[in-house]
Chain A
Protein backbone atom coordinates (compact mmCIF):
# COMPACT_ATOMS: atom_id res chain seq x y z
CA UNK A 1 0.00 0.00 0.00
CA UNK A 2 1.09 3.55 -0.66
CA UNK A 3 1.21 5.93 2.28
CA UNK A 4 2.28 9.51 2.94
CA UNK A 5 3.06 10.81 6.41
CA UNK A 6 3.45 14.39 7.53
CA UNK A 7 4.48 14.36 11.17
CA UNK A 8 4.20 18.10 11.83
CA UNK A 9 0.55 19.17 12.24
CA UNK A 10 1.51 22.82 12.79
CA UNK A 11 4.56 24.97 12.15
CA UNK A 12 5.29 28.66 12.51
CA UNK A 13 8.05 30.86 11.14
CA UNK A 14 8.95 34.52 11.28
CA UNK A 15 8.63 36.51 8.10
CA UNK A 16 11.83 36.38 5.99
CA UNK A 17 13.08 33.27 7.82
CA UNK A 18 13.44 29.75 6.42
CA UNK A 19 11.25 26.80 7.35
CA UNK A 20 11.33 23.11 6.41
CA UNK A 21 8.25 20.89 6.26
CA UNK A 22 8.77 17.13 6.55
CA UNK A 23 7.22 14.31 4.56
CA UNK A 24 7.91 10.60 4.39
CA UNK A 25 6.26 8.11 2.08
CA UNK A 26 6.10 4.46 1.25
CA UNK A 27 5.58 2.83 -2.11
CA UNK A 28 6.62 -0.36 -3.87
CA UNK A 29 6.62 1.27 -7.28
CA UNK A 30 9.75 2.34 -9.11
CA UNK A 31 8.14 5.08 -11.16
CA UNK A 32 6.38 7.67 -9.10
CA UNK A 33 6.12 11.40 -8.56
CA UNK A 34 6.05 13.59 -5.50
CA UNK A 35 4.27 16.89 -5.07
CA UNK A 36 3.79 19.64 -2.55
CA UNK A 37 0.42 21.40 -2.71
CA UNK A 38 -0.57 24.54 -0.85
CA UNK A 39 -4.11 25.13 0.40
CA UNK A 40 -4.69 28.71 1.60
CA UNK A 41 -7.85 29.72 3.47
CA UNK A 42 -9.64 29.96 0.10
CA UNK A 43 -9.27 26.13 0.02
CA UNK A 44 -7.96 26.19 -3.56
CA UNK A 45 -5.30 23.51 -4.08
CA UNK A 46 -2.20 25.08 -5.62
CA UNK A 47 0.79 23.11 -6.85
CA UNK A 48 4.00 24.36 -5.23
CA UNK A 49 6.61 21.97 -6.56
CA UNK A 50 6.96 18.60 -8.31
CA UNK A 51 9.68 15.94 -8.25
CA UNK A 52 10.12 12.91 -10.49
CA UNK A 53 11.48 9.94 -8.55
CA UNK A 54 13.92 9.01 -11.31
CA UNK A 55 15.62 12.41 -11.09
CA UNK A 56 18.39 12.76 -8.54
CA UNK A 57 18.49 16.53 -8.71
CA UNK A 58 16.26 18.25 -6.18
CA UNK A 59 13.51 20.40 -7.67
CA UNK A 60 13.53 24.16 -7.09
CA UNK A 61 10.89 26.79 -7.76
CA UNK A 62 11.97 30.28 -6.72
CA UNK A 63 11.84 30.35 -2.89
CA UNK A 64 10.68 26.72 -2.69
CA UNK A 65 13.01 23.74 -2.86
CA UNK A 66 12.88 20.10 -1.87
CA UNK A 67 15.27 17.68 -0.26
CA UNK A 68 14.47 14.36 -1.95
CA UNK A 69 16.10 11.36 -0.26
CA UNK A 70 14.92 8.38 -2.29
CA UNK A 71 16.54 5.65 -0.20
CA UNK A 72 15.07 7.11 2.97
CA UNK A 73 11.74 7.82 1.23
CA UNK A 74 11.83 11.37 2.47
CA UNK A 75 10.62 14.47 0.64
CA UNK A 76 10.89 17.69 2.64
CA UNK A 77 9.94 21.19 1.48
CA UNK A 78 12.10 24.20 2.29
CA UNK A 79 10.60 27.66 2.07
CA UNK A 80 13.16 30.46 2.05
CA UNK A 81 12.48 34.12 2.81
CA UNK A 82 9.01 33.25 4.13
CA UNK A 83 6.24 35.68 3.26
CA UNK A 84 2.89 36.32 4.92
CA UNK A 85 1.20 34.93 1.82
CA UNK A 86 2.84 31.57 2.47
CA UNK A 87 0.47 31.05 5.39
CA UNK A 88 -1.54 27.97 4.41
CA UNK A 89 -1.99 24.25 4.83
CA UNK A 90 0.70 22.31 2.95
CA UNK A 91 0.10 18.80 1.66
CA UNK A 92 2.67 16.32 0.48
CA UNK A 93 1.36 13.94 -2.20
CA UNK A 94 2.58 10.77 -3.88
CA UNK A 95 1.54 10.18 -7.48
CA UNK A 96 1.54 6.80 -9.17
CA UNK A 97 2.54 6.60 -12.81
CA UNK A 98 0.50 3.39 -12.99
CA UNK A 99 -2.79 4.51 -11.50
CA UNK A 100 -2.56 8.28 -11.77
CA UNK A 101 -4.17 8.92 -8.40
CA UNK A 102 -2.58 11.03 -5.70
CA UNK A 103 -2.11 9.90 -2.10
CA UNK A 104 -2.03 12.86 0.27
CA UNK A 105 -0.50 13.30 3.69
CA UNK A 106 -2.46 14.74 6.59
CA UNK A 107 -1.14 18.23 6.01
CA UNK A 108 0.95 20.77 7.90
CA UNK A 109 -0.52 24.13 8.84
CA UNK A 110 2.11 26.82 8.37
CA UNK A 111 1.73 30.21 10.02
CA UNK A 112 4.07 33.00 8.90
CA UNK A 113 4.32 35.65 11.59
CA UNK A 114 5.13 39.30 10.88
Chain B
Protein backbone atom coordinates (compact mmCIF):
# COMPACT_ATOMS: atom_id res chain seq x y z
CA UNK B 1 0.00 0.00 0.00
CA UNK B 2 1.71 3.14 -1.19
CA UNK B 3 1.93 5.99 1.28
CA UNK B 4 0.75 9.53 0.81
CA UNK B 5 2.27 10.97 -2.34
CA UNK B 6 3.08 14.61 -2.86
CA UNK B 7 4.49 16.31 -5.89
CA UNK B 8 6.53 18.11 -6.69
CA UNK B 9 8.94 17.64 -3.79
CA UNK B 10 10.58 20.98 -4.53
CA UNK B 11 9.00 23.93 -6.30
CA UNK B 12 10.61 27.24 -7.13
CA UNK B 13 8.46 30.17 -8.16
CA UNK B 14 9.07 33.86 -8.75
CA UNK B 15 6.97 36.44 -6.99
CA UNK B 16 3.58 36.80 -8.68
CA UNK B 17 3.50 33.30 -10.18
CA UNK B 18 1.11 30.52 -9.25
CA UNK B 19 2.05 27.41 -7.26
CA UNK B 20 0.09 24.17 -7.52
CA UNK B 21 0.83 21.44 -5.00
CA UNK B 22 -0.58 17.95 -5.43
CA UNK B 23 -1.42 15.27 -2.89
CA UNK B 24 -2.58 11.71 -3.48
CA UNK B 25 -3.88 10.14 -0.26
CA UNK B 26 -3.31 6.57 0.79
CA UNK B 27 -5.61 4.02 -0.77
CA UNK B 28 -8.89 3.88 1.10
CA UNK B 29 -8.39 7.27 2.74
CA UNK B 30 -11.09 9.81 2.00
CA UNK B 31 -9.90 12.60 4.29
CA UNK B 32 -7.10 14.98 3.33
CA UNK B 33 -5.45 17.68 5.43
CA UNK B 34 -2.97 20.36 4.41
CA UNK B 35 -0.43 21.84 6.83
CA UNK B 36 2.23 24.50 6.41
CA UNK B 37 5.59 24.50 8.19
CA UNK B 38 7.59 27.69 8.26
CA UNK B 39 11.33 27.40 9.02
CA UNK B 40 12.05 26.42 12.62
CA UNK B 41 8.34 26.18 13.45
CA UNK B 42 5.74 23.50 13.94
CA UNK B 43 3.10 22.53 11.44
CA UNK B 44 0.08 24.79 11.15
CA UNK B 45 -3.28 23.45 9.98
CA UNK B 46 -4.59 24.99 6.79
CA UNK B 47 -7.55 23.02 5.46
CA UNK B 48 -9.42 19.72 5.81
CA UNK B 49 -11.16 18.20 2.82
CA UNK B 50 -13.21 15.18 1.94
CA UNK B 51 -14.03 14.17 -1.62
CA UNK B 52 -15.62 17.21 -3.32
CA UNK B 53 -16.12 18.99 0.02
CA UNK B 54 -14.18 21.47 2.10
CA UNK B 55 -14.88 20.57 5.72
CA UNK B 56 -12.73 23.10 7.58
CA UNK B 57 -10.69 25.89 6.01
CA UNK B 58 -10.18 27.92 9.16
CA UNK B 59 -6.39 27.89 8.73
CA UNK B 60 -6.34 29.08 5.14
CA UNK B 61 -5.30 32.66 4.39
CA UNK B 62 -8.31 34.57 3.12
CA UNK B 63 -6.72 35.56 -0.17
CA UNK B 64 -4.65 33.80 -2.83
CA UNK B 65 -4.97 30.31 -1.29
CA UNK B 66 -7.47 27.65 -2.35
CA UNK B 67 -7.78 23.89 -2.06
CA UNK B 68 -9.81 21.19 -3.70
CA UNK B 69 -10.22 17.43 -3.55
CA UNK B 70 -12.13 16.36 -6.65
CA UNK B 71 -14.03 13.14 -7.09
CA UNK B 72 -11.23 11.85 -9.29
CA UNK B 73 -7.57 12.72 -8.95
CA UNK B 74 -5.36 14.24 -6.29
CA UNK B 75 -6.05 17.03 -3.87
CA UNK B 76 -4.64 20.36 -5.05
CA UNK B 77 -3.43 23.28 -2.95
CA UNK B 78 -3.21 26.35 -5.11
CA UNK B 79 -1.39 29.55 -4.23
CA UNK B 80 -1.91 32.47 -6.57
CA UNK B 81 0.47 35.43 -6.93
CA UNK B 82 3.02 33.95 -4.55
CA UNK B 83 5.05 36.20 -2.24
CA UNK B 84 8.31 35.48 -0.42
CA UNK B 85 6.39 34.84 2.81
CA UNK B 86 4.77 31.81 1.17
CA UNK B 87 8.13 30.03 1.18
CA UNK B 88 7.62 27.00 3.42
CA UNK B 89 7.19 23.26 3.50
CA UNK B 90 3.62 22.18 2.73
CA UNK B 91 2.56 18.82 4.08
CA UNK B 92 -0.44 16.77 3.11
CA UNK B 93 -1.86 14.10 5.39
CA UNK B 94 -4.63 11.59 4.90
CA UNK B 95 -6.75 9.44 7.16
CA UNK B 96 -9.55 6.93 6.81
CA UNK B 97 -13.09 8.08 7.63
CA UNK B 98 -12.84 7.53 11.38
CA UNK B 99 -12.30 10.28 13.91
CA UNK B 100 -9.22 10.11 16.04
CA UNK B 101 -7.13 7.77 13.96
CA UNK B 102 -3.69 8.87 13.03
CA UNK B 103 -2.99 11.00 10.02
CA UNK B 104 -0.40 9.67 7.61
CA UNK B 105 1.85 12.35 6.22
CA UNK B 106 3.36 12.77 2.81
CA UNK B 107 7.00 13.83 2.35
CA UNK B 108 6.04 17.46 1.86
CA UNK B 109 6.58 20.01 -0.89
CA UNK B 110 9.19 22.66 -0.25
CA UNK B 111 8.14 25.89 -1.93
CA UNK B 112 10.74 28.56 -2.50
CA UNK B 113 9.65 31.96 -3.75
CA UNK B 114 12.40 34.04 -5.31
Contact = CB atoms under 8 A, between A and B. Distances in A.
Interface residues of A, number: 26
A16 to B, nearest CB: 29
Main secondary structure of the interface of B (DSSP, over half): strand
A99 B48 contact: yes
B114 to A, nearest CB: 21
Contacts of A35: 102
B42 A100 contact: no
Given A32-B100, A37-B105, A47-B104, 4 more contacts: A99-B48, A102-B33, A107-B41, A107-B42
Interface of A: 31-33, 35, 37, 42-47, 50, 52, 91, 95, 97-107
Interface residues of B, number: 25
Interface of B: 31, 33, 35, 41-45, 48, 55-56, 59, 89, 91, 93, 95, 99-100, 102-105, 107-108, 110
